[in-house]
Amino acid sequence: MTKHDREPGRPAGPWVVNEANGADCSASRLLFCFSHAGGGPAFFRPWSACLQPEIAVRRVLLPGREWRLEEPPFRHIADLVDPLCAALELHLDRPYALFGHSMGAAVAYEVARRLSAARGEGPACLIVSGRRAPGLPGSDRRLSALPDDEFVSEVARLNGIPPQVLSEPELLSMLLPTLRADYELVETYRPLPGGRLDCPVVAYVSTSDPAVQYAEMLAWRDETTGEFSVRVFRGDHFYLKGVRPDVLNAIREDLA
């Protein structure tokens, strides 16, 4: 067993980041944010203060990143969903929505389905960003199997690796196992058994995203019996990075 294989019975670390220290206890809605491959909750940190007091942001931290860096990352979404949903259950004390970007969209979608089935009522809204609908066929290309140099080049093409990481070989080598595991999770993902959602689904797509096309985002409408809509933003695959008023205003409207 390598250090990146999940050990049976290994205790899990904290799955949800909340830096508000009670400041958002009056928020009427929760927003759980799921990041892209290789990403962590820090990606959504700027949103917390911007969306208060109406929306309390809860950032999801998966094993293999930030202060869970020493924990083996998951390589298959079927293994991830059960422990993740069990952890999220502890935080569902009010109406909630899910936001997932890229890999996070697939994870958020499966979490939404699992919580809907288990609780009889799922999220008030699912927002998926930068990821084609799960019912569409995926690419046969396996970036996760490429040699390190080629793999890094392909990920960097999407702006998926910060320049400060690319310029630090030791830091890059430390992060590569998790990034590669995340890509394997994405590339092997197929929808898990279960029914369609009944909550509203909103698809966010950018104008210059090399990873997904508008038509592929439109196909998310087949994943719910509820309302469906699409929003288009200017930018590349990481159009939502930092604080963008148009993105944050869209989230407020979609969760209203």
Site of tokens 């869970």:
68
φ/ψ of 64, rounded to 5, equals 95, 5
Provide the annotated active-site residues: 102
Distance CA 61, CA 24 (A): 19
Decide: 138 and 219 in contact? Cβ < 8 Å. Answer: no
At how many degrees (to 10) do helices 77-89 and 169-188 cross?
Answer: 100
- Measured CA to CA, the distance from residue 178 to residue 4 in angstroms comes to 8
The distance in angstroms from the start CA to the end CA of the chain is 47
Assess contact for 89 and 31: CB atoms under 8 A: no
Residue 224: partners with Cβ closer than 8 Å, 6 or more residues away: 126, 196, 197, 198, 199, 200, 201
Using DSSP bridges, classify how beta strands 55-60 and 96-101 pair: parallel, antiparallel or unpaired.
Answer: unpaired
Which residue, among 114, 120, 104, 105, has the nearest Cα to 81 in the 3D structure?
114
User: Please, what is the Cα angle at 128 between 123 and 13, to 5 degrees?
Assistant: 70
